[in-house]
């Protein structure tokens, strides 16, 4: 199958078998679009995705699977696949390596070099309308990093933040710089912590905030790091997928950026209290300042040091995302209901164990 240049024509999704990517593919197919997914492993990974789509009632006849590797210049695409994809109009990059404790080069291969490879390839598409790149809400709030940055600046960044967050920040700077250089119209989507589907709670991702819920459920959360003003915003995966699918229809110009989060998310201690009451477990009895937790041994706190930079009292500007959502007829589902359903599903899935 090749792509037409029609308004509902081809979309290409990188990271399509991941948490965000598969819901995005389902949304795009549901809108009647022909969707190509670029995956390592080609046919086998494609069949896994088709199976997931069928289980979720999605007609996957408009799905095209190509074997690609974002860590390689040119994405490792064969000549036949390059020709089939010439009609692609919108490229979505949801591919990333999300794990704490990564090595610096391991993180950079996917989150920096891989992101740049996608930009350079997409810029060569003759009918490209929009490149949509998934980043993160803390990355968007971290200020502007030049690309390429000085070695000393990068060394300090990776020491301070850890490989995952630092590579996402460097990757965001790289994508902005290279898309401008290549003339590729770019939208950076900066989502908050992504939780499960607003109706079913289904997630399939069990790190980050999900680990806090796991410890709460298991009675291993006697204290909470942060303050009563600590704000860890969330967004449901289905709202994020709808938002991303709408971006190419509304964004224009060389560069746009949107923080996508639900401003009605309770402060962290209230969020944890809400889930504790819902799950019938004891909430944490005390709060510890982040600076103190950072100085204590991890063996004592059980806290992954890289997560501490997310425990901030900062609030975030969502005005551009709010405008686009209103134009597209989108609104966040009730966040407290979504949190409860997500927690129920995490427990039912045994937190992915």
DSSP for 126-143 reads TT--EEEEE--HHHHTS-
pLDDT at residue 1 in the model: 53
User: What band does 297 get if pLDDT is binned at 50, 70 and 90?
Assistant: low
Confidence of residue 50 (pLDDT cuts 50, 70, 90): very high
pLDDT value of position 8: 40
pLDDT of residue 97: 83
Say how many C-beta atoms besides its own lie within 10 A of residue 132's C-beta: 26
If one compares 30 and 8, the residue with the highest pLDDT of the two is 30
Residue 43 neighbours by CB under 8 Å, 6+ apart: 65, 67
CA-to-CA distance for 249 and 226, rounded, in angstroms? 39
**Secondary element (H or E) of residue 330:** none
How many other C-beta atoms are found inside a 10 Å radius of the C-beta of residue 235? 25
CA distances from 218 to 208, 232, 299, 351 (A): 16, 21, 18, 11
pLDDT tens per residue across span 153-169? 999 999 988 999 999 99
Q: Alpha-carbon distance 152 to 169, whole Å? A: 15
Q: What is the pLDDT of residues 231-290, one digit of tens each?
A: 999 999 999 999 999 999 999 999 999 999 999 999 999 999 999 999 999 999 899 888
> Is the pLDDT score of 15 beyond 60?
yes
Q: Which two tokens stand for residue 339?
A: 């949190």
Question: For residue 294, how many other CB atoms are within 10 A of its CB?
Answer: 15
The confidence band for 70, taking pLDDT boundaries of 50, 70 and 90, is very high
Task: Flag whether pLDDT at 298 surpasses 90.
Answer: no
How far is the C-alpha of 244 from the C-alpha of 238, rounded, in Å? 10
Q: How far apart are CA 196 and CA 55, in angstroms?
A: 16
Q: What is the pLDDT of residue 3?
A: 53
Mean pLDDT, residues 121-131: 96
């Amino acid at each position: 199958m090749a792509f037409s240049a029609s308004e509902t024509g081809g979309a290409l999704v990188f990271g399509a078998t991941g948490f965000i990517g598969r819901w995005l593919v389902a949304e795009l197919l549901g809108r009647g679009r022909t969707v190509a997914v670029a995956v390592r492993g080609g046919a086998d990974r494609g069949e896994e995705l088709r199976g997931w789509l069928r289980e979720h009632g999605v007609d996957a006849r408009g799905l095209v699977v190509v074997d690609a590797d974002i860590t390689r210049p040119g994405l490792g695409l064969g000549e036949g696949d390059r020709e089939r994809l010439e009609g692609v109009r919108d490229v979505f990059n949801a591919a990333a390596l999300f794990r704490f404790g990564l090595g610096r080069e391991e993180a950079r291969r996917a989150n920096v070099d891989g992101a740049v490879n996608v930009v350079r390839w997409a810029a060569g598409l003759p009918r490209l309308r929009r490149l949509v790149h998934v980043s993160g809400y803390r990355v968007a709030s971290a200020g502007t990093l030049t690309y390429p940055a000085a070695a000393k600046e990068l060394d300090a960044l990776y020491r301070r933040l850890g490989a995952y967050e630092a590579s996402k920040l460097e990757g965001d700077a790289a994508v902005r710089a290279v898309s401008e250089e290549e003339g590729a119209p770019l939208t950076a989507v900066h989502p908050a912590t992504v939780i499960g589907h607003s109706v079913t709670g289904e997630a399939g991702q069990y790190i980050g905030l999900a680990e806090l819920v796991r410890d709460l459920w298991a009675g291993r959360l006697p204290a909470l790091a942060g303050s009563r003003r600590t704000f860890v915003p969330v967004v449901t995966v289905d709202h994020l997928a709808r938002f991303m699918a709408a971006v190419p229809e509304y964004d224009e110009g060389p560069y746009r950026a949107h923080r996508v989060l639900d401003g009605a998310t309770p402060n962290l201690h209230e969020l944890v209290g809400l889930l504790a009451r819902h799950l019938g477990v004891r909430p944490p009895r005390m709060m510890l300042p982040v600076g103190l937790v950072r100085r204590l041994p991890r063996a004592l706190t059980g806290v992954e040091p890289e997560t501490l930079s997310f425990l901030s009292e900062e609030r975030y500007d969502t005005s551009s995302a709010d405008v686009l959502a209103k134009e597209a007829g989108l609104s966040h589902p009730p966040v407290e209901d979504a949190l409860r359903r997500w927690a129920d599903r995490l427990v039912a899935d045994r937190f992915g164990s």
